[in-house]
Amino acid sequence: MHNLWIPVVAILLVAGLIFGGQMVSDANRDDEIAARIAERLDTRDDIELIRVREVNKGYGLCGEYLRASRPAEPFYYQTVSETLTLDAEAPLYRENCARPAR
């Protein structure tokens, strides 16, 4: 019976590493996007990303960002080219974020 525990523990450990690594990766990605938004806006305000969703099979991210005491503003981030769009009227935003997620 104790021989059964070794593979079970190994599987759980590997699953924890995979899913834990993905959570850390997503958090780092969000921090990087927030820093790029702050740089683009030339501000030292804290930027918080909200309502972030993946589009284009994970190659793009749509969402909103918050700055201190200001309303939420939209953004689109293309993960491959690292292109950032902060205007809801920009073609990249309209093409990727104005339609339902796929």
Q: What is the mean pLDDT of residues 42-70?
A: 91
Q: 49-67: string of b/e by CB count within 10 Å (b at 16+)?
A: beebeebeeeebbbbbbbb
**Among 26-30, 53-57, 61-65, 86-90, where is mean pLDDT lowest?**
26-30
Domain map of the chain by residue range?
2-97
What pLDDT, on a 0 to 100 scale, did the predictor assign at position 9? 73
- Percent above pLDDT 90 for the chain: 50
Look up residue 72 and give its two tokens: 């939420």
**Model's pTM, two decimal places?**
0.71
What pLDDT, on a 0 to 100 scale, did the predictor assign at position 13? 72
